[in-house]
């Protein structure tokens, strides 16, 4: 090989790029790994925070009551209750043969609801009836003997008059008549006792048939055929104390808790307007039945009973309801209902220096800014919401915009 060829091989080729530094590659890989771990941690935190629903209570925003020349001086919330409600049970302990009711059925007063096993009661009735017949037969025998004794006395008196027998014989016949009369009277009392025994046995037999005490709707079926029912509670959970619960829908009314600070605004027979949570656009007129003269020291409230002027199948017990207590407005002043909607005062929170409420949007909540206004008892007028919107009644401290929630039933 020539010398010039050797020098050509030893020359450095400047056209090829320099090799990449090993340290720089390791540094870039470490940065990528740290970012990936941070993203994974953030995603895990978001999943844990967003995956667990926060349990809250909901309330419905409603428009203020208005119209008819009346204005609301107070508003309170409560529930529909039934003044006439009964859990029907048997008056004796026995085994159910059948139950003839189901939830939601309408029943009439006296309608048969269930039958109990009545073999023992029928046997007792048959025994009592046999005793009555025996007593009646003995009474007939005693009456026949009394009739004979009276005939004997008549003959004895006739013979004494003819001086054919002694006066003692006539007196003995009279004594027998009197004794037989007493025996007949005693036997009549025995018949009455037997009749009472038959009536008592019949009552016990009638107890085996459970009937509706009044007309109403069955809201609960508490027992099944084959179970033992008793008017008294028995330990162990094997004995039922009721067959079913009946509610007289015509006796439905509303009970509301009024803050004791505002109870002076409520009076008996005061007109009212009720709005059910289930039907926020339906206003039901009514009036105050009574103010129950006792206060709840724990809640600082007084219970008020309100009658509903309209009866409707949509109204059922334990429905939530908001009641507006009205008073006649001054006819010289034409007043318009205030703008906005009413929400519970506890639903309003302070965020970023302003008032806001959490509005339910499916399974999540949205923070909505509002402008607060007049206070009506436990409710407050706000602007920025529409009637019918559902808000969180008392938002917990950890509740945030967009959080998942679960509404309490």
Q: Give yes or no for a contact between 105 and 218, defined as CB atoms under 8 angstroms apart.
A: yes
CA dist 209 → 51, 162, 196, 199 (Å): 55, 69, 21, 16
- For residue 152, what pLDDT band results from cuts at 50, 70 and 90? confident
pLDDT at 173: 85
What are the pLDDT digits (tens) for 303-327?
A: 999 999 888 888 999 999 999 998 8
pLDDT at 240: 82
What are the pLDDT digits (tens) for 379-390?
A: 888 998 988 889
What are the pLDDT digits (tens) for 163-210?
A: 777 788 888 888 998 999 999 999 999 999 999 999 999 999 999 999
Asked if the model's pLDDT at residue 331 lies above 60, the reply is no
Average model confidence (pLDDT) across the chain: 83
pLDDT at 21: 45
pLDDT at 303: 94
Angle at 125 between CA 120 and CA 127, to 5 degrees: 95
Within a 10 A sphere around the Cβ of 298, how many other Cβ atoms? Answer: 6
- For residue 158, what pLDDT band results from cuts at 50, 70 and 90? confident
pLDDT at 22: 43
What are the pLDDT digits (tens) for 77-120?
A: 999 999 999 999 888 999 999 999 999 899 999 999 999 999 99
Beta strands in 37-124 (DSSP E): 54-56, 58-60, 70-82, 85-88, 94-99, 106-107, 112-116
Asked if the model's pLDDT at residue 20 lies above 70, the reply is no
Note the helical H segments in 92-166. Answer: 119-161
CA dist., res. 257 & res. 303, Å (int): 5
Strands 390-392 and 58-60, by their bridges, are antiparallel
CA dist., res. 352 & res. 207, Å (int): 69
Q: What is the C-alpha radius of gyration for the chain, rounded to an integer number of angstroms? A: 45
Q: Which DSSP letter does residue 342 get?
A: E
CA dist., res. 394 & res. 408, Å (int): 12
Q: Give yes or no for a contact between 177 and 104, defined as CB atoms under 8 angstroms apart.
A: no
CA dist 360 → 181, 318, 365, 392 (Å): 91, 23, 5, 7
pLDDT at 34: 56
The predicted model scores a pTM of 0.55
Asked if the model's pLDDT at residue 13 lies above 60, the reply is no
CA dist., res. 384 & res. 341, Å (int): 8
CA dist., res. 107 & res. 99, Å (int): 13
Asked if the model's pLDDT at residue 366 lies above 70, the reply is yes
Terminal-to-terminal C-alpha distance of the chain: 99
- Helix or strand run (H / E) with residue 170: helix 167-206
What are the pLDDT digits (tens) for 28-59?
A: 555 556 565 665 555 544 444 455 788 888 88
Please give the average per-residue pLDDT across 110-133, as a whole number. Answer: 94
């Amino acid at each position: 090989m020539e010398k010039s060829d050797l020098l050509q091989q030893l020359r450095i080729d400047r056209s090829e790029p320099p090799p990449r530094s090993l340290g720089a590659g390791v540094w870039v890989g470490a940065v990528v790994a740290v970012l990936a771990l941070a993203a994974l941690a953030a995603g895990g935190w978001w999943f844990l925070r967003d995956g667990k629903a926060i349990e809250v209570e909901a309330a419905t925003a409603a428009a203020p009551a208005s119209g008819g020349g009346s204005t609301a001086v107070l508003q309170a919330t409560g529930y529909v209750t039934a003044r006439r409600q009964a859990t029907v049970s048997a008056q004796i302990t026995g085994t159910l043969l059948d139950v003839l009711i189901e939830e939601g059925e309408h029943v009439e007063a006296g309608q048969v609801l269930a039958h109990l096993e009545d073999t023992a009661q029928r046997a007792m009735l048959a025994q009592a009836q046999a005793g009555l017949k025996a007593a009646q037969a003995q009474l007939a025998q005693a009456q026949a003997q009394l009739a004979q004794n009276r005939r004997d006395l008549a003959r004895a008196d006739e013979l004494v008059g003819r001086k054919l027998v002694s006066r003692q014989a006539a007196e003995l016949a009279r004594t027998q008549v009197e004794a037989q009369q007493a025996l007949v009277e005693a036997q009549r009392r025995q018949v009455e006792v037997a009749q009472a025994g038959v009536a008592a046995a019949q009552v016990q037999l009638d107890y085996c048939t459970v009937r509706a005490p009044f007309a109403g709707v069955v809201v609960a079926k508490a027992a099944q055929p084959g179970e033992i029912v008793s008017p008294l509670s028995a330990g162990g959970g094997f004995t039922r104390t009721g067959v079913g619960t009946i509610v007289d829908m015509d006796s439905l009314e509303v009970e509301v808790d009024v803050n004791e600070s505002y109870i002076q605004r409520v009076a008996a027979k005061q007109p009212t307007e009720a709005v059910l949570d289930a039907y926020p656009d339906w206003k039901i007129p009514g009036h105050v039945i009574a103010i129950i003269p006792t206060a709840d020291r724990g809640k600082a409230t007084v219970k008020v009973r309100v009658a509903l002027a309209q009866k409707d199948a949509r109204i059922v017990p334990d429905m939530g309801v908001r009641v507006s207590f009205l008073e006649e407005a001054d006819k010289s002043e034409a007043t318009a209902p205030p703008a906005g909607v009413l929400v519970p005062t506890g639903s309003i929170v302070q965020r970023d220096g302003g008032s806001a409420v959490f509005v339910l949007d499916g399974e999540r909540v949205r923070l909505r800014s509002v402008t607060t206004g007049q206070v009506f008892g436990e409710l407050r007028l706000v602007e920025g919401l529409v009637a019918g919107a559902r808000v969180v009644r008392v938002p917990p401290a950890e509740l945030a915009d967009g959080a998942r929630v679960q509404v309490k039933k």
